[in-house]
Amino acid sequence: MSEDRREQKPFGGPGMGPGGRPGGGFGRGPMGGHGMGMPMEKAKNFKGTLKRLLGYLKSRRLRLLTVFIMAILSTVFSIVSPKIMGKATTKLFEGIMMKYRHVPGAKVDFDYIGQILVLLIGFYILSAIFSYLQQYIMAGVAQKTVYDIRNDVSKKLSRLPLKFFDSHVHGDILSRVTNDVDNISTTLQQSLTQLITSIVTIVGILIMMLTISPLMTLIALVTLPLSFLVTMVIAKRSQKYFADQQKNLGILNGHVEEMYTGHPIVKAFGREGEAIDKFNQINERLYAAGWKAQFVSGIIMPLISFISNVGYVFVSVIGGILVMKKRIEIGDVQAFIQYSRQFTWPIVQTANIANVIQSTVASAERVFELLDELEEIPDKEDAKLIGFPQGAVKFQNVNFGYKEDVTLIQDMNIDVKPGQTIAVVGPTGAGKTTLVNLLMRFYEINRGKITVDGVDIRDLKRGDLRTMFGMVLQDTWLFNGTIKDNIAYGRTGASEQDVIRAAKAAHADHFIRTLPEGYGTVLNEEASNISQGQKQLLTIARAILADPAILILDEATSNVDTRTELLIQKAMSTLMKGRTSFVIAHRLSTIRDADLILVMDHGSIIEMGNHNQLLARGGFYAELYNSQFTGGSLVLANFLDTSCIL
């Protein structure tokens, strides 16, 4: 049904985006912030999303407040220092000047300078301590907030209907939980305090400058809007090139992905040269856009530093003249130089922070979108419980379709008695999973009702309903863990004895014991350390252990060698004994012996009845039967059909 869509591309996996960030504190590197001028995704509802994101911080507002206070304190201490340092220089200069003019008894007042320096040491250390504390507390706040968001997503995923998973690419969901949440984490950890520090620094420096000399402040201020303007204008200009670069990178990645996944075809048809030509064309375009983007964004720093140098020159010259005219002191010039140097960086950061916040909110929005997806109808409060399930299943006037306007199943009525076998047949892709979806209530039916032992399945808790079912499907799902744990997955609290008994019944015990670690063998992520057939045996063992009243089985055993296939068949018949079974049937004997055959095509049930009834009808089933199976029986009766097709 939706198997194709679920395939994950090797791309788009977590943390693999171009320039993928490892997340956490270090991610953004020395330049602080996303590559300057990178195109940002914009949030659709900026205000609402931001508010909601802040909601996560609400419970930590006290600590957040402490962080803010710490940030302010640390910045204040570091801002006051140059001015105090300037006092020491002034004192020194005064002493020297007096000596220079041969004032009698002139000497440098080292006591005073010493006092100031001791005071400064105190200030610097205080500033460092506050700055550390601020980061320390923020680490907890940021990471725990992100922890909460991740857990919320995980909880949400467990409440979403199957429909959601079938209609969304896994890579996309994964990327929301990893990349987007990571982005939020980095912003919380770094940019938030950076923003506060930057603003406090700018304001603080302004005040300090003003107290030194309003005239010189004015000069320094000329450079301020200039730096700001340059950053904004260039960032904007470079966005175009970055967008161009991103586009070409996307095309290039697409081409690479296609050519690599289709490598045997490229080779078989001798098209390597063509592939390389096309690649080089795209590569050339990428280069053209790429160097422009890099250059334009790269000149922000030189320009800012030029502007800052110009400011420096003016400060030195005018400061020098003012000192001469005794309007200010030499130490103030020194302080001023330090201030104007410190000024540039917070401005660049603030100019950039708008982008950071925008991308963070966009990320948050994607996460919240996930959190806002429509959930399953909750289980009923007064849900019924079937104590000893018998396995009677009834469909009454069931209507169902995946899309509103396309009805796949219309007025379906079946009545399955406990222990009966229902065979589901039809060509590949006929939509046999639909049945599983309805029985297990992965999807809601549109009309009618399905009952188990007379109880509407909507009156049961989903968990209880699903516990009554056992499922052995072709796409075996095993997780990264030991074989024992994988089998024990079928029943919470199963003992080792239970596991071994189930494995024996599933004819899996033998192969498990031949593995070096036996039941303790750890299956790797793709479970590629055991064969496909062995995986199926394990899933059967899991179902046996779960001991369900009703079974859903897929008989298909493609990719399995003949001997294992026999084992699987044996294990399946053991499993089916005494249970109501819905079998996606591939074996003629199963179909023939079934109490009811459901013939499916293109997602809907087109015929229903037992073998003889259906054959007599001469419809789809009869045709299917003849084409799939008769050929074989004829030959087996030593009747060789000489008109060979292929």
Least separation in angstroms between CB 291 and another protein: 4
Write the DSSP symbol of residue 521. P
Packing angle, helices 496-505 and 562-576, rounded to 10? 110
By CB under 8 A, name the one of 15, 48, 225, 618 that touches another protein.
15
Structure tokens at 442: 């992965």
Report the C-alpha gap between 482 and 68 in whole angstroms.
Answer: 48
Is residue 486 within 8 Å of 478, Cβ to Cβ? yes
Structure tokens at 182: 């990571």
Give the x-and-dash track for 355-374 against another protein (CB under 8 A).
--------------------
Region from 363-371, 391-399, 476-484, 512-520 binding another protein, contact rule CB under 8 A: 476-484
- Residue 387: Cβ within 10 Å count: 5
Ramachandran angles phi, psi of 422, nearest 5°? -115, 120
Report the C-alpha gap between 527 and 523 in whole angstroms.
Answer: 5
Neighbour-count burial for 240-256, b at 16+ CB within 10 Å, e otherwise:
ebbebbbebbeebeebe
Region from 50-58, 217-225, 565-573, 607-615 binding another protein, contact rule CB under 8 A: 565-573
Give the x-and-dash track for 570-599 against another protein (CB under 8 A).
-----------------xxx----------
| By CB under 8 A, residue 254 contacts another protein | yes
- Which residue, 43 or 334, is less far from another protein as judged by CB? 334
Report the C-alpha gap between 547 and 502 in whole angstroms.
Answer: 10
| By CB under 8 A, residue 26 contacts another protein | yes
Is residue 376 within 8 Å of 368, Cβ to Cβ? no
Least separation in angstroms between CB 120 and another protein: 6
| By CB under 8 A, residue 256 contacts another protein | yes
By CB under 8 A, name the one of 294, 399, 451, 482 that touches another protein.
294
Structure tokens at 478: 């095993």
Least separation in angstroms between CB 411 and another protein: 26
Closest Cα to residue 281, out of 291, 273, 293, 269? 273
| By CB under 8 A, residue 406 contacts another protein | no
| By CB under 8 A, residue 270 contacts another protein | yes
Least separation in angstroms between CB 372 and another protein: 19
By CB under 8 A, name the one of 45, 59, 559, 613 that touches another protein.
559
Least separation in angstroms between CB 396 and another protein: 23
By CB under 8 A, name the one of 46, 57, 66, 150 that touches another protein.
150
- Residue 508: Cβ within 10 Å count: 28
| By CB under 8 A, residue 16 contacts another protein | yes
Kindly identify the residues of this chain, within the stretch 224-253, that bind another protein according to CB under 8 A. 249, 252-253
Report the C-alpha gap between 435 and 398 in whole angstroms.
Answer: 12
Report the C-alpha gap between 385 and 401 in whole angstroms.
Answer: 28
Region from 51-59, 260-268, 400-408, 498-506 binding another protein, contact rule CB under 8 A: 260-268
As to burial, measured by CB atoms within 10 angstroms (0-12 exposed, 13-18 middle, 19+ buried), residue 53 is buried
Least separation in angstroms between CB 397 and another protein: 26
Structure tokens at 488: 């024990």
Region from 44-52, 396-404, 511-519, 624-632 binding another protein, contact rule CB under 8 A: 624-632
By CB under 8 A, name the one of 295, 354, 380, 520 that touches another protein.
295
Kindly identify the residues of this chain, within the stretch 57-96, that bind another protein according to CB under 8 A. 78, 81, 85, 88-89, 92-93, 95-96
| Neighbouring residues of 299: CB distance < 8 A, sequence distance ≥ 6 | 234
Give the x-and-dash track for 104-143 against another protein (CB under 8 A).
---xx-x--xx--x--xx--xx-xxx-xx--xx-xxx-xx
Q: Label the pairing between strands 596-601 and 421-425.
A: parallel
| By CB under 8 A, residue 98 contacts another protein | no
By CB under 8 A, name the one of 162, 206, 207, 615 that touches another protein.
162
Structure tokens at 375: 């959930």
- Which residue, 236 or 602, is less far from another protein as judged by CB? 602
Report the C-alpha gap between 135 and 131 in whole angstroms.
Answer: 6
Region from 45-53, 216-224, 226-234, 295-303 binding another protein, contact rule CB under 8 A: 295-303
Is residue 631 within 8 Å of 640, Cβ to Cβ? no
Report the C-alpha gap between 542 and 23 in whole angstroms.
Answer: 38
Tell how far CA 84 is from the center of its chain.
Answer: 50
What's the chain's length in residues?
Answer: 646
| By CB under 8 A, residue 462 contacts another protein | yes
| By CB under 8 A, residue 23 contacts another protein | yes
Least separation in angstroms between CB 643 and another protein: 8
Q: Is 366 helix (H, G, I), strand (E, B) or coil?
A: helix
Least separation in angstroms between CB 48 and another protein: 26
Is residue 183 within 8 Å of 28, Cβ to Cβ? no
| By CB under 8 A, residue 1 contacts another protein | no
**273-to-65, 262, 277 alpha-carbon distances in Å:** 62, 14, 6
Kindly identify the residues of this chain, within the stretch 514-533, that bind another protein according to CB under 8 A. 525, 531-533
Least separation in angstroms between CB 262 and another protein: 4
| By CB under 8 A, residue 314 contacts another protein | yes
Least separation in angstroms between CB 587 and another protein: 6
Is residue 512 within 8 Å of 489, Cβ to Cβ? no
| By CB under 8 A, residue 344 contacts another protein | no
| By CB under 8 A, residue 173 contacts another protein | yes
By CB under 8 A, name the one of 469, 511, 582, 621 that touches another protein.
469
> Could you tell me which residues are beta bridge partners of residue 398?
412
By CB under 8 A, name the one of 2, 147, 354, 520 that touches another protein.
147
Name the strand (E) or helix (H) holding 351.
Answer: helix 330-371
Report the C-alpha gap between 72 and 197 in whole angstroms.
Answer: 7
Least separation in angstroms between CB 178 and another protein: 6
Kindly identify the residues of this chain, within the stretch 320-339, that bind another protein according to CB under 8 A. 320-321, 323-324, 330, 333-334, 337
| By CB under 8 A, residue 260 contacts another protein | yes
Kindly identify the residues of this chain, within the stretch 179-198, that bind another protein according to CB under 8 A. 185, 189
Size of the site for another protein (CB under 8 A): 185
Kindly identify the residues of this chain, within the stretch 419-458, that bind another protein according to CB under 8 A. 427-429, 436, 440, 442
- Residue 259: Cβ within 10 Å count: 18
